[in-house]
Structure 1
């Protein structure tokens, strides 16, 4: 299994979640986060914003679903060609999954 974490613009979140749901991926965790990328925030006029509002979406999928989920997120998070600040997607291997109520290992 894979854990996919996507850090995206807040205004793109509902579009991404709708597309994931339509594709059958309903289990998603959403967290408000603050951060900056390698361009160190943005400058508007004389004001520099070092910390930007983002949202992190987290979901765990079967290995063979990873590419589809990454494609859905990428397509719907992108605001334009080469636009800075659209986000990042991280994919990690999941070693174990436990259900808290039952204690069952789901892998």
Structure 2
């Protein structure tokens, strides 16, 4: 099993959710986060004063998938989240040691 953690632009969340549903992913967790990478923030003007925004709003999407679903899910996220500009985000793929469904105590892939 794999844990996919994707950092994406906020306005791409619905596109990513729909793309994951199309490849058979039923559940995901979404968190509003802030960060920066190569984009390095930007400068804004407010009431005549210029100030730098270093941490940009992003969305973190986490999804637990089977080994077979990992490739198609990564491709779906990448195609749905891209704008071909700096700041589109990243996908991190991690090993998922165990999953336990709280309600039924199912474990492993059946708990996904």
Q: Shorter-normalised TM-score: what interval? A: 0.7 to 0.9
Answering whether residue 102 of structure 2 is matched by residue 100 of structure 1, we say yes
- Please name the residue that 2:3 is paired with: 3
Q: Residues 50-89 of structure 1: matches in 2 within 5 Å? A: 50-80=54-84, 83-89=85-91
Q: Comparing 28-37 with 95-104, which one deviates more in the overlay? A: 95-104
Q: Partner of 1:24: helix, strand, or coil?
A: coil
Q: Residues 13-32 of structure 1: matches in 2 within 5 Å? A: 13-32=13-32
The answer to whether the Cα contact below 8 Å between 2:38 and 2:87 also exists between their aligned partners in 1 is no
Gapped regions of structure 2 (runs ≥ 5): none
Larger Rg: 2
Aligned residues: 105
TM-score normalised to the size of structure 2? 0.83
TM-score normalised to the size of structure 1? 0.87
Gapped regions of structure 1 (runs ≥ 5): none
